[in-house]
Amino acid sequence: MRYLWMSVVVLLALAGSAGAQELEAPRARQGYWVAYGMGAEIEAANLKGDSLTLTGSGGAIRLGQMLTPRFGLGVRIDFSSGQGDRYDGGGGGLMLEGQMNVWRQLAVHGGFGFGFASLSDPTAVDSKTEGGYGGAALLAVSYDWFFTHRTTGGWALTPALTVRALSGGDVDAFWFTAGLQISWWSGRPRNELDLPEGAAYK
């Protein structure tokens, strides 16, 4: 985990110094982002060889920065809960997340980091919680629908489809989430944008 945080700090510092030297065409998905969202979720889990399916909800907190007009880097915290096949489940994780802007406000995300999952049978007489933790990975696609009208940055509603995977301990799990986030983008300062002569300083 120490290396995860070190990677984030170093890459964001380099991005800030490099990005300030180049002018970009103004657009909504620029600068830093902060997002929070929830959604419906299905968990496919394996507990010591037994396959389980749970349904519930999952959410995420995300923050980061666009390093170039197409590529961004950030961190995310995920959390999940669900029930099914007599079990109550939970999970979450911390990941380093990269994103690529592929078309207009459409982005593809990939991530890796640390995750955990837990399962318990509340009907069992000697109920105990089984768990697993270890390396986790993520793949997602999202689209930012901006409802503010700014030269750069703004607020957006962001529907997203996400798949997360965890392999570790007694519990392996896949989470499939269809959710909606609210996102804020800082935009870039006007003097870092490719604007008509004189407009950058108004």
Task: Give the residue-averaged pLDDT of 53-58.
Answer: 98
pTM metric for this prediction: 0.85
Neighbours of 5 (CB within 10 A): 12
Neighbours of 104 (CB within 10 A): 11
Q: Which range is least confidently modeled, 38-42, 69-73, 84-88, 189-193?
A: 189-193
Q: Which residue has the higher pLDDT, 31 or 2?
A: 31
pLDDT for the residue numbered 18 = 47
Sorted by where each begins, the domain ranges of the chain are 2-20+32-187
Name the residue among 177, 137, 146, 185 with its Cα closest to residue 160. Answer: 177
pLDDT, one tens digit per residue, over 142-159 is: 999 999 999 999 999 999
- Give the long-range contacts of residues 11-14, CB within 8 A, separation 24 or more: 11/67, 11/73, 12/64, 12/65, 12/73
Measure the CA–CA gap between 66 and 30, rounded to whole angstroms. Answer: 6
pLDDT for the residue numbered 201 = 44
Amino acid at 137: A
pLDDT for the residue numbered 51 = 94
pLDDT for the residue numbered 29 = 97
pLDDT for the residue numbered 49 = 84
pLDDT for the residue numbered 5 = 52
pLDDT, one tens digit per residue, over 141-200 is: 999 999 999 999 999 999 999 999 998 778 999 999 999 999 999 999 988 898 876 554
pLDDT for the residue numbered 21 = 58
The token pair at 131 is 């768990």
pLDDT for the residue numbered 185 = 98
Amino acid at 138: L
pLDDT for the residue numbered 6 = 53
Distance set, CA 186 to CA 64, 152, 159, 166, 190 (Å): 11, 8, 19, 32, 12
Contact 101, 69 (CB under 8 A): yes
CATH fold group of domain 2-20+32-187: Porin (2.40.160)
Neighbours of 183 (CB within 10 A): 22
pLDDT, one tens digit per residue, over 3-20 is: 455 555 555 554 555 444
Contacts of 9 (CB under 8 A, 6+ apart): none
Would the pLDDT of 45 be above 80? yes
pLDDT, one tens digit per residue, over 99-138 is: 999 999 999 999 999 999 999 998 887 778 888 899 999 9
